[in-house]
Amino acid sequence: MKQPIVLAIESSCDETGVAIVQEGRLLSNAVSTQVAIHQKFGGVMPEMASRLHTENITMVLNEALENAKVKLEDIDVFAVTRGPGLIGALHVGLQAIKTLAAIYDKPLVPVHHLAAHIYANEFVKPLVFPLLAIVVSGGNTELVYMKEHLDFQIIGETRDDAVGECYDKVARVLGLPYPGGLPIDRLAQTGTPTYKLPHPLNDDSLDLSYSGLKTAIINLVHHTKQIGEEIHLANLCASFQQRAIGMILEKSQLALDRYPVQQVVLAGGVSANSLLRQQIKVMAETRGIDVIIPPMWACTDNAAMIALLGERLYHKGVVSDLSLGADPGWSIERITSFNS
Ligand code: KG4
């Protein structure tokens, strides 16, 4: 029997993506990134993001179809990121996919963006349960426990800023380009952690906090300028990275002490971080737990992961009618609830 061909659209932030998957196999994965444009503003401009998605979506769709050598008539299932993300940006993908599902009279599958980041690890190898997913991105920082497929429990999360957001704000105050994760990570590798920084939520909860760390760096930079001294950029980046990633590692250790876990996976944009990738591997191996580190291409936003999870959801019967709306704050614990 022919397995369904799934086409997915991702437009939750500043990447327009279209991908096609069949039986877990990636037939194509087209992405158009807006980073260069948002860079001029030092962060994502939501209105601009929506406009650029609208301008780019047809081109990215055609590229994905051409690369997969399929036609729209061949697609059996349409999947889309419904949330979380920027509301205007989400709407572009949603309207496009609803139009396609209506024209071709095919099922429509709503996909949770962060759950898809977790499932992107299945491009490496199968998920094994129970599992701890460390979800770290520009908009979210969560420790997610999964007892089985499609079952997500948030066991710890940031009480304020996301870790990626903190990287981006710190980069801005240090005069580094947006997005700030990679430039800070690179500089940190050349520095020594000599600066003393606060250690927020140094307690036995599984929650994290980043706003105090961000404020401490802003104050430190202003104070240093005021007294006419120079910042040692590489050392400050190394100190910040040690603390920012250290918090994730500490809370992950606590989670592993408390929950039975067979596998640890990283998910989201900050999983590209060199220190995090290296240290999570060491942590899991020391405990004899399996680990998946996503390939770099899967750390940034892409539609391949949306198509992969969309395919799994479709086989579970998770489909929506055409009244589907976007949900910028959709909780990962409710990925099969989307009726407005
Ligand atoms: O998953 P993503 O696109 O964010 C959301 O959609 O919310 O991830 C983007 C975030 C940005 O904040 C960026 O600075 C961060 O991931 N990032 C990194 C690294 N590469 C990207 N953070 C730390 N170290 C990196 N190497």
Instruction: Give the pLDDT confidence of 196-232 residue by residue, as tens digits.
Output: 999 999 999 999 999 999 999 999 999 999 999 999 9
Q: Buried b / exposed e across 219-232, counting CB within 10 Å, b at 16+?
A: ebbeeeeeeeeebe
Question: Which pLDDT score is estimated for 2?
Answer: 84
Percent of the chain topping pLDDT 90: 94
3-class secondary structure per residue, 254-318: HHHHHCCCCEEEEECHHHHCHHHHHHHHHHHHHHCCEEECCCHHHHCCCCHHHHHHHHHHHHCCC
167 ligand 1 Cβ < 6 A: yes
91-142 tens-digit pLDDT: 999 999 999 999 999 999 999 999 999 999 999 999 999 999 999 999 999 9
84 ligand 1 Cβ < 6 A: no
5-48 tens-digit pLDDT: 999 999 999 899 999 999 999 999 999 998 888 888 888 889 99
If you measure from the C-alpha of residue 1 to the centroid of ligand 1, how many angstroms do you get, rounded to a whole number?
A: 40
233 ligand 1 Cβ < 6 A: no
113/340: higher pLDDT? 113
263 ligand 1 Cβ < 6 A: no
- Mean pLDDT for 270-282 is 98
pLDDT grade, residue 254 (50/70/90)? very high
> Could you tell me if 224 and 231 are in contact, meaning their C-beta atoms sit under 8 angstroms apart?
yes
93 ligand 1 Cβ < 6 A: no
If you measure from the C-alpha of residue 141 to the centroid of ligand 1, how many angstroms do you get, rounded to a whole number?
A: 11
292-325 tens-digit pLDDT: 999 999 999 999 999 999 999 999 999 999 999 9
**Nearest atom, ligand 1, residue 167 CA:** 14
| Summary mean pLDDT of the chain | 96
Token digits of residue 174: 């240090």
15 ligand 1 Cβ < 6 A: no
Question: Which pLDDT score is estimated for 273?
Answer: 98
Q: Whose CA is nearest to atom 5 of ligand 1?
A: 138
Q: Whose CA is nearest to atom 22 of ligand 1?
A: 181
**Nearest atom, ligand 1, residue 140 CA:** 7
**Nearest atom, ligand 1, residue 244 CA:** 23
Token digits of residue 175: 């005069």
| pLDDT of 340 strictly over 60 | no
Token digits of residue 256: 């592993």
- Mean pLDDT for 61-87 is 98
3-state secondary structure of 16: strand
| pLDDT of 145 strictly over 70 | yes
pTM for this predicted structure = 0.96
**Nearest atom, ligand 1, residue 274 CA:** 26
- Residue 286, Cβ neighbours under 10 Å: how many? 9
Pairwise CA distance, residues 21 & 8, whole Å: 8
pLDDT grade, residue 192 (50/70/90)? very high
Which of 167, 275, 301, 330 is the pocket-test mutation for ligand 1 (most atoms within 8 Å of CB)? 167
- Mean pLDDT for 46-60 is 94
Alpha carbons within 13 A on the beta-carbon side of 320: 25
If you measure from the C-alpha of residue 180 to the centroid of ligand 1, how many angstroms do you get, rounded to a whole number?
A: 8
**Nearest atom, ligand 1, residue 301 CA:** 3
Task: Identify the CA nearest to 76 among candidates 3, 1, 28, 4.
Answer: 4
If you measure from the C-alpha of residue 81 to the centroid of ligand 1, how many angstroms do you get, rounded to a whole number?
A: 18
Q: Mean pLDDT check: name the lowest of 39-53, 80-94, 129-143, 265-279.
A: 39-53
Question: Which pLDDT score is estimated for 44?
Answer: 85
Token digits of residue 64: 């994905």
Question: Which pLDDT score is estimated for 257?
Answer: 98
**Nearest atom, ligand 1, residue 163 CA:** 12
Nearest 10 degrees: CA dihedral of 251, 257, 260, 265? 30
If you measure from the C-alpha of residue 103 to the centroid of ligand 1, how many angstroms do you get, rounded to a whole number?
A: 36
**Nearest atom, ligand 1, residue 272 CA:** 26
pLDDT grade, residue 281 (50/70/90)? very high
- Residue 101, Cβ neighbours under 10 Å: how many? 24
171 ligand 1 Cβ < 6 A: no
Which residues contact residue 236 at a Cβ distance below 8 angstroms, ignoring those fewer than 6 apart? 174, 191, 195, 217, 220
